[in-house]
């Protein structure tokens, strides 16, 4: 006679601790640092940098920042574009959303800059969408403009 095994739908639960990695600003490539400094120089607010290297293959970092209005968002994009071209010889692979300036995307391949107006940033909430990404610790002077 065969032995019957009782099966259950209950599984053992295991707690998994997710350790958020924090990368120091100084360990970023100079071009990413330059883009962040340009955004800060143009008074961008809520500057955040996500380290996507362990979770995405299409880019390494997202630089995310706000401008208070269309003109400021465009001015931040212009400054980043101009300084990366002048100081590093880099041009974006593509630029999207510049005209409306609700969400401007500057794609440099190994990093992508996302510039938003406040409403679009809150609506799209990239930090929540990419919550598994590591964070970059920005210098205190840039944290003051974090908004």
Residue 115 confidence class, pLDDT cut points 50, 70, 90? very high
Work out the average pLDDT over 34-46: 97
Residue 91 confidence class, pLDDT cut points 50, 70, 90? very high
Count of all residues that appear for the chain in the document:
147
**Best CATH choice for the domain 22-137 from the list 3.40.50.880, 3.30.110.60, 3.30.460.10, 3.20.20.110:** 3.30.460.10
Cβ count near 43 (within 10 Å): 14
Q: Does residue 143 register a pLDDT over 90?
A: no
Give residue 21's pLDDT: 76
Instruction: Write down the residue that tokens 């980043």 correspond to.
Output: 80
Q: Does residue 87 register a pLDDT over 90?
A: yes
Residues 9-23 have pLDDT tens digits of 666 666 555 555 789
Average pLDDT, the chain: 90
Residues whose CB is less than 8 angstroms from the CB of residue 138 and which lie 6 or more positions away in sequence, other chains included: 25, 36, 47, 49, 146
Give residue 12's pLDDT: 66
Q: What is the pTM of this model?
A: 0.84
15-19, 102-106, 107-111: range with lowest mean pLDDT: 15-19
What residue segments make up the domains of the chain, in order of their start?
A: 22-137
Instruction: Write down the residue that tokens 């300084």 correspond to.
Output: 83
- Tokens representing 114? 């996302």
- Cα distances from 18 to residues 21, 53, 94, 130, 133, in angstroms, run 9, 16, 34, 14, 11
- Tokens representing 139? 């210098």
Please give the span between the terminal C-alpha atoms of the chain, in angstroms, as a whole number: 72
């Amino acid at each position: 006679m065969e032995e019957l095994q009782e099966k259950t739908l209950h599984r053992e639960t295991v707690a998994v601790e997710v350790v958020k990695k924090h990368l120091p600003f100084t360990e970023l490539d100079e071009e990413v640092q330059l883009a962040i400094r340009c955004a800060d120089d143009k008074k961008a607010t809520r500057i955040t940098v996500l380290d996507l290297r362990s979770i995405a293959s299409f880019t390494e970092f997202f630089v995310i920042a706000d401008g208070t209005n269309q003109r400021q968002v465009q001015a931040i994009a212009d400054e980043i574009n101009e300084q990366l071209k002048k100081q590093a010889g880099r041009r974006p692979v593509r630029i999207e959303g510049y005209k409306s300036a609700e969400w401007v995307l500057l794609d440099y391949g190994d990093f992508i800059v996302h510039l938003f107006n406040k409403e679009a940033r809150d609506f799209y909430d990239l930090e929540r969408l990419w919550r598994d990404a590591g964070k970059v610790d920005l210098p205190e002077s840039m944290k003051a403009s974090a908004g």
